[in-house]
Amino acid sequence: MERVIYLVDMQSFYASIEKVIQPQLEDKPVVVAGDPKQRSGIILAACPVAKTYGVKAAEPLWKARAKCSTLHVVKPRMGLYIDISMQITRILEKYSDLVEVYSIDEQFVDVTHTVHLFKNKYYMANAIHDEILDTLGIESRIGIGPTKVLAKMACDHFAKKHPSGMYELTQESVQTDLWPLPIGALFGVGRRMESHFVRMGLHTIGSLANHPLIWIKKRFGINGEVLFRFSHGIDPSPVTKRTHVKQKAIGHHMTLPKDYVEKEAILVVLRELAEEVARRARKQHYLGSGISLYIRGHDFERHDGFKRQIKLAHPTALSDDIFQAAKQLFLDSWHHQPVRAVSVTLTQLEEKTTRQLSLFDDSIKKEALADVIDNIKETYGAASIIRASSLTEAGQAKIRADKIGGHWK
Ligand SMILES: [Mg+2]
């Protein structure tokens, strides 16, 4: 049975959120950007109005200001954006239980087994678009395809440019729609692979698709074979739930708005991830004795990330224990390469009641305190208590939960 997969992408995600929260900015050129004095003075998101001035994401702030003197610059609030991203996941989960969070503003939904509830797949996609818009005020674009790679490319190369914000790539349209595109447009082809292919005379996706596979394999191994398959729209990888961790592990992942290079900034993120993991473990009455850390660098092709694990002496659900372990793993393996994404996971879970009480540490007291904090957060919102370290620029946990409550119904 051919699958029906959507890739749902939010338009100018960060800037759109800011416009919903600050309606006075609605028709103004708005960008979300870091501190202009720092390396982070880079545009993370530009709203459609700013784009009409030629302002683009990833360009330095000074350049954007030169193009548009009336530019409104808003500082990023990652915690808030992550929170909205999670609300979008919850909306998508009404349409299918197979939702995979691909990045903060892109999620895959496999609707193969639920699409029959709607007139057709386009009506269903429209319903998703409208519900996100009505609930959160954010425009989305949807790529449709029988595989993840086709849904993704349908979105990136067509839906975003299409007035309807929607586009479908089928196995049949691969040849006419996809093959004429430059090789760099093929999902998975980074700048390095692009120059390799171009040097071989493979300028378009079609030229790769029609190149003998045996040569591609010889030159690039398994990676080349995967890209060759992508050029034909072939991608058997399933849409896998990434939001609800089945009780074997509790993890939290964060893709950063830019590459982080300072140790202190990365440690702030690690602490926030550890707190979120610990909070969820406590809420579900779990303790875990394994901690794993995953760091992804900025160059996916060069595999400059790493994954490390450690086993603790005692099972825990305390953020400080988790943080200290993650920090140790990080410092042991990090060689100052830029960091793009981080996850911290608590593994080897057990029910809290089965634990032997350790009377020789003060973990009972710490747990009692943690419970109090959890309760305050549940009652007054996640932003009611945050660590001082989260108030630094690197802090991602500045969740303006109460503010969202005030502006969204
Ligand atoms: Mg987007």
The pLDDT of residue 136: 95
Higher model confidence: residue 335 or residue 367? 335
Look at residue 374 and tell me whether its pLDDT is greater than 60.
yes
Question: How far is the centre of ligand 1, averaged over its atoms, from the C-alpha of 332 (Å)?
Answer: 34
332 labeled part of a ligand binding site:
no
State in Å: Cα 105 to ligand 1 middle: 5
- The percent of residues in the chain predicted with pLDDT above 70, rounded, is 81
Tens digits of residue pLDDT in 223-279: 899 999 999 999 998 998 865 334 578 898 888 878 888 898 899 899 989 998 998
> Ligand 1 mean position to 106 CA, how many Å?
7
Q: What distance in Å separates the CA atoms of residue 322 and residue 264, rounded to the nearest whole number?
A: 17
Q: What is the pLDDT of residue 406?
A: 30
Helix 191-199 / helix 213-231 crossing angle, nearest 10 deg? 130
Q: Is the pLDDT of residue 46 over 70?
A: yes
Out of 134-143, 232-241, 369-378, 386-395, give the one with best mean pLDDT: 134-143
Question: How far apart are the CA of 303 and the centre of ligand 1, in A?
Answer: 24
* 36-56: b (≥16 Cβ within 10 Å) or e: eeeebbbbbbbbebbbebebe
User: Residue 40 above 70 pLDDT?
Assistant: no
- Which pLDDT does position 42 carry in this prediction? 77
Question: For residue 299, is pLDDT > 90?
Answer: no
Q: Is 100 among the catalytic positions? A: no
pLDDT of residue 207: 97
Q: Give the pLDDT confidence score for residue 249 in this predicted structure.
A: 84
45 alpha carbon – ligand 1 mean position (Å): 9
Number of CB atoms found within 10 A of residue 90's CB = 11
35 labelled binding-site residue: no
Break the chain into its structural domains and give their ranges: 174-231, 249-407
Look at 297 and 213; give whichever has higher pLDDT.
213
Please compute the mean of the pLDDT values over residues 355-372 and round it to a whole number.
52
Question: Token pair for residue 252?
Answer: 């939290």
Q: Which CATH class is domain 174-231?
A: mainly alpha
Mean confidence (pLDDT) of the chain:
84
pLDDT for residue 369: 63
Q: What's the CA-to-centroid distance between 244 and ligand 1, angstroms?
A: 23
Per-position DSSP letters for 108-156, written without gaps between them: EEE-TTTGGGSSSHHHHHHHHHHHHHHHH---EEEEEESSHHHHHHHII
Beta pairing class for 72-74 and 30-33: parallel
Compute the distance from residue 6 Cα to the ligand 1 centre, in Å: 14
pLDDT at 341 over 60: yes
Q: Active site residue: 18, 106, 272, 275, which one?
A: 106
CATH architecture classification, 249-407: 2-Layer Sandwich (3.30)
d(C-alpha 265, C-alpha 391), whole Å = 11
Q: What is the per-residue burial (b if ≥16 Cβ within 10 Å, else e) of 288-324?
A: bbbbbbbbbbbbeeeebbbebeeebeebbbbbebbbb
Res 206: pLDDT = 98
Residue 252 to residue 242: CA distance in whole angstroms: 10
For the cut 90, the answer to whether the pLDDT of residue 209 exceeds it is yes
pLDDT in tens, 279-296: 888 887 788 889 999 998
CB 35 within 8 A of CB 393: yes
> Residue 193 pLDDT > 50, yes or no?
yes
Return the number of other C-beta atoms located less than 10 Å from residue 359's C-beta: 8
Q: Check residue 304 and give its pLDDT.
A: 73
- Which of the residue ranges 25-34, 119-128, 306-315 would you say has the lowest mean pLDDT? 306-315
Q: Is the pLDDT confidence value at 404 over 90?
A: no
Whether the predicted pLDDT of 371 surpasses 90: no
Residues 6+ apart with CB under 8 A from 294: 253, 305, 306, 307, 341, 342, 343, 344, 345
Highest-confidence segment of 53-67, 300-314, 340-354: 53-67
Residue 316 C-alpha to ligand 1 middle, in angstroms? Answer: 37
Ligand 1 centre from 12 Cα, in Å?
A: 5
Q: Which of 96-110, 124-138, 148-162, 360-374 has the lowest mean pLDDT?
A: 360-374
- Please state the φ and ψ torsions of residue 153, each to the nearest 5 degrees: -75, -30
Whether residue 182 has pLDDT greater than 70 = yes
Of 357 and 250, the structure prediction assigns the larger pLDDT to 250
Tokens 């992408």 correspond to 9
User: Per-residue pLDDT for 362 more than 80?
Assistant: no
Q: What's the pLDDT score for residue 366?
A: 63
Instruction: Supply the pLDDT for residue 1.
Output: 86
Q: In this structure, how many other beta carbons lie within 10 angstroms of the beta carbon of residue 218?
A: 10
> Mean pLDDT across the stretch 178-199?
93
Model pLDDT, residue 301: 58
What is the pLDDT confidence band of residue 402, given thresholds at 50, 70 and 90? Answer: very low
Q: What pLDDT was estimated at residue 359?
A: 41
